[in-house]
Amino acid sequence: MDSFMEYYFEGVFSNLDRDCLNERFKRRELVEYFNTVIAGCARGQNHSDNTSCKNFVISALRYHNNCKSKNGDVCLMGKYHNLLYVAMKLAFDWSLQDNGVVAALLDELYACERTFERIFLGAIFGTSAPYFLAGWKSDFMDKEENVHALVFFLDHATNANLEYEENGKTYRFIDVPLESCGHASPVRVVIQMGASEMLMILLRFGARITSDVVSTNPIESILDRLNEYNRKYPYELVSCLKLAMRAVPTITLSVDKEVLKHLELPDDYNYQRKLMLEKYGDILTDHLVPASRCGLKPVELKHLSRCKIRQILWSNFELPFGIQKLPIPMSLKRYLDLCED
């Protein structure tokens, strides 16, 4: 396999046009070609399919890195970079189990692009929308396959403890901002889309629901949008709100104390309560937000315990599968995994 790949890259691939893999159908043709090669090498060399796929991905990474090194450690883009997408698709197609190799592939993608849009956007928007957002088409067949691919890479990124630095901040794979979406986090984009099923996937894997460079807390943006519907709330948006509230101890609203300074309120005044009642009174009246999750009443101990346990599991890269290792009843495992409230 190694000898074949070395010959292919040096004798065939290097002579192809620079933009030969820009079109999705061209990348798919190459994927099909290497699917045949991997299957043939597995049979001919008496290796497992996983081993043959691993060898291909390693060879592709080696070739990409060699070309990059010769160019002053700057990616040449074009076919040299598109080769990584071919490797990404093959790793998914063959369910490559080697964490180290998949992690190296993700690291190389991030080093070149500083984002993981090619993995996330197709799962969030489907296969066509990324072309209008970012000028490329997803390498996966349909939205369902995009979602499966996202879970595949989320699993590997979690097992490999992957973290990435950007502008002085450290991000997990699942939280790396999406450049084509205004540098918003994937979870914020999903919430804006009202895609509750995708939100459930991201939250189970430990996506952070926090303020970012885009705006305030995503839950607050859900509440603002719900206010626009005059108490005729869309189901998907309500579902997103309920899921998001399972993942945080309590809703934290943005409070500008300077605006309220003229009221001369005490230092320990419950600004959250005041803002919640004044701004989202209808939502409270309609019981979309429990009083215990927005500062009106103390938070339930059971819910606080869930958030604390999930935080510890997240810190140890054990979400969501580490929940199943805990010696607790299945009902509590489902509760910890955000499946119940």
pLDDT for 125-166, tens place per residue?
887 776 666 667 889 999 999 999 999 999 999 999 999 998
With pLDDT > 70 as the criterion, what percentage of the chain qualifies?
92
CA angle 187, 192, 196 (to 5 degrees): 65
In angstroms, the CA 184 to CA 210 distance is 11
pLDDT bracket for residue 42 (50, 70, 90): confident
Average the pLDDT over 228-247 and give the result: 94
Average the pLDDT over 255-276 and give the result: 73
* Average pLDDT along the chain: 90
List the one residue out of 298, 303, 192, 312 whose CA is nearest residue 247: 303
Average the pLDDT over 59-85 and give the result: 94
Ranking 65-69, 98-102, 129-133, 297-301 by mean pLDDT, the lowest is 129-133
* The two structure tokens encoding residue 325: 């290792």
**Does pLDDT of 295 surpass 90?**
no
Please report the sign of the dihedral spanned by the C-alpha atoms of residue 130, residue 58, residue 148, residue 41: positive
Residue 210 burial by CB count (10 A; 0-12/13-18/19+): exposed, middle or buried?
Answer: middle
Ranking 41-50, 166-175, 308-317 by mean pLDDT, the lowest is 41-50
| Residue 231: C-alpha distances to residues 135, 192, 193, 243, 292 (Å) | 38, 18, 19, 19, 21
Determine phi and psi for 212, rounding to 5 degrees.
Answer: -140, -165
Residue 207 burial by CB count (10 A; 0-12/13-18/19+): exposed, middle or buried?
Answer: buried
Residue 69 burial by CB count (10 A; 0-12/13-18/19+): exposed, middle or buried?
Answer: exposed
pLDDT at 181: 86
pLDDT at 264: 67
pLDDT for 84-133, tens place per residue?
999 999 999 999 999 999 999 999 999 999 999 999 999 998 877 766 66
Please enumerate, as own/partner, the contacts of 152-156 that have beta carbons within 8 Å and a separation of 24 or more: 152/92, 152/95, 153/92, 153/102, 153/106, 153/116, 153/119, 154/201, 154/205, 155/321, 156/99, 156/102, 156/103, 156/106
pLDDT at 132: 67
Average the pLDDT over 278-288 and give the result: 93
Average the pLDDT over 290-305 and give the result: 93
In angstroms, the CA 131 to CA 137 distance is 5
Helix (H) or strand (E) holding 163: strand 163-166
pLDDT at 138: 87
